[in-house]
Amino acid sequence: MNARERYLATLTFQQPDRIPFEPGHGRESTRKRWHAEGLPADRNPVDYVREVLGIDPVDPVERPLGLGADFRLIPQFEEQVLEHRNGHYVVQDWKGNVCEISDQFDVTYLRTASDFVTRRWIKCPVETHADWEAIKPRYDLDAPGRFPADFAERCRRAQDRQGVLRVGFSGPFWQLREWCGFEGLCMLMLDDPEFVAEMAAFWKNFVSQMLARILDRVVPDVIGINEDMAYKGKSMISMDMVRRFCLPSWTDWVNQVQAAGCPLVDLDSDGYVGELIPLWIEAGVNVCDPIEVAAGCDLPTFRAQFGHKMAYTMGVDKRCIAAGGQALRDELSRLEPVIRDGGYIPGCDHGVPHDVSWADFLEYSRQLAELTGWL
């Protein structure tokens, strides 16, 4: 099997030759530690782990593919430092938020998840109806850069692929939170629900139009929806709010892509997602992650509750990877029945934190490779 066939067979409960080997990746501070402890400079950690363990390297043609379609606002806001005080920057990020971060980072850290960065929100781009009207033009479907100049050629090459083709974008809760801020959005859900419904409908339609242009040329293997809508122990909003403001978008997008032949819809949310999974299943979502153990998520319990209606990726407790030894062995033993049952690609249940040593990451990867059939 090639990487694409193996990935699809695993998450659709078929019989792959091996389960994809995806232990997880360290962010910047983690990789800095690993480089000091034995990871060669400028080497990808997982590629090097495969080399150390004697696992065949990934063929370049089997690496994940991207089409370059941009679901974000265009033009983006100017990234700039507005103030420097008491060891912190006050910055405007590319989404138009004004927030405060430690001055050990810079504003570019808010563009990608290159490290674990805490921030304090000060102002968000949509706080009034007038702000909403001002930001809507930034989602012009025909804006320069919305699709790359070689988009048609990328789609043509992707037709005969050996790697997984994934198209990802923000879900309604994630996107509206980016516009309004978390507290602002939650207050609007109570005080002005029609405004929230209007924004959610706008986003649903924008994404649907983007998907239509993609599906007209190529059918992805996976649609990835980013939500991050749960705390430790609970969803961030009630199930009634989820049903009103989020479920219509999820359902429409799932129907659209599945009608075109896309087999997997993967919804990502940190936190405890046990109460959300039934609504995701209702919408047609069939994969979710990262299944954070510290938030109360337990894959054996989820598998007993939801059976093969939901597949999973990640789900290995990062704290046990850091602890190593018996704690790690017990954690992988806990997950082994789910691995054997199928519909699961195990890996670290979020970005690998910097308290995981290089030696412990290697040992974790070795045990994971054994469980997934690579050793």
Do 115 and 153 belong together in one domain? no
Neighbouring residues of 167: CB distance < 8 A, sequence distance ≥ 6 = 67, 69, 211, 214, 220, 222, 223, 224
Whose CA is closest to 366, among 85, 21, 115, 133?
21
Looking at residue 346, its pLDDT comes to 98
Do 213 and 164 belong together in one domain? yes
Neighbouring residues of 219: CB distance < 8 A, sequence distance ≥ 6 = 257, 260, 261, 262
Tell me if 356 sits within 8 A of 30, measured CB to CB. yes
* pLDDT of 117 strictly over 80: yes
Q: How confident is the model at residue 115 (pLDDT cuts 50, 70, 90)?
A: confident
Write down the mean pLDDT value for the chain. 96
User: What's 257's domain CATH number?
Assistant: 3.20.20.210
Burial 79-103 (b: 16+ CB within 10 A, else e): eeeeeeeeebbbbbbbbbbbbbbee
Do 109 and 199 belong together in one domain? no
Number of helical (H) and strand (E) elements in the chain, helices listed first: 15, 10
Looking at residue 107, its pLDDT comes to 86
Q: How many CB atoms lie within 10 A of CB 14?
A: 12
- Where in the sequence is the domain holding 83, given as residue range(s)? 78-124
Looking at residue 111, its pLDDT comes to 84
* Count of structural domains within the chain: 2
Looking at residue 106, its pLDDT comes to 85
Looking at residue 215, its pLDDT comes to 98
H or E element, residue 134 = helix 129-135
Looking at residue 116, its pLDDT comes to 83
Cα separation, 356 vs 274, in Å, equals 27
Cα separation, 49 vs 363, in Å, equals 10
Tell me if 17 sits within 8 A of 6, measured CB to CB. yes
Do 69 and 82 belong together in one domain? no
pTM value > 0.75: yes
Do 182 and 87 belong together in one domain? no
Looking at residue 47, its pLDDT comes to 97
* pLDDT of 326 strictly over 80: yes
Do 183 and 303 belong together in one domain? yes
Summarize the confidence of residues 333-346 as an average pLDDT.
98
Cα separation, 375 vs 370, in Å, equals 5
Give the torsion sign (CA, 319, 324, 327, 332): positive
Neighbouring residues of 187: CB distance < 8 A, sequence distance ≥ 6 = none
Summarize the confidence of residues 116-135 as an average pLDDT.
94
Summarize pLDDT for 23-52 with one digit per residue, the tens. 999 989 999 999 999 999 989 999 999 999
In the sheet that holds 311-316, the strands lie side by side as 166-170, 222-226, 264-268, 287-289, 311-316, 344-348
Do 115 and 82 belong together in one domain? yes
Do 154 and 96 belong together in one domain? no
Do 111 and 236 belong together in one domain? no
Do 334 and 190 belong together in one domain? yes
Q: What's the alpha-carbon Rg for the chain, to the nearest Å?
A: 21
Tell me if 18 sits within 8 A of 374, measured CB to CB. yes
Summarize pLDDT for 57-105 with one digit per residue, the tens. 999 999 999 999 999 999 999 999 999 999 999 999 999 999 999 999 8
Cα separation, 18 vs 34, in Å, equals 28
% of the chain beyond a pLDDT of 90: 94
Question: Which residues sit opposite 89 in a β-bridge?
Answer: 84, 101
Cα separation, 300 vs 331, in Å, equals 12
* pLDDT of 308 strictly over 80: yes
Do 293 and 326 belong together in one domain? yes
Query: Angle, to 10 degrees, between the axis of helix 247-260 and the axis of helix 193-215?
Result: 10
Neighbouring residues of 110: CB distance < 8 A, sequence distance ≥ 6 = 79, 91, 93, 94, 97, 99, 101, 117, 119
Do 82 and 198 belong together in one domain? no
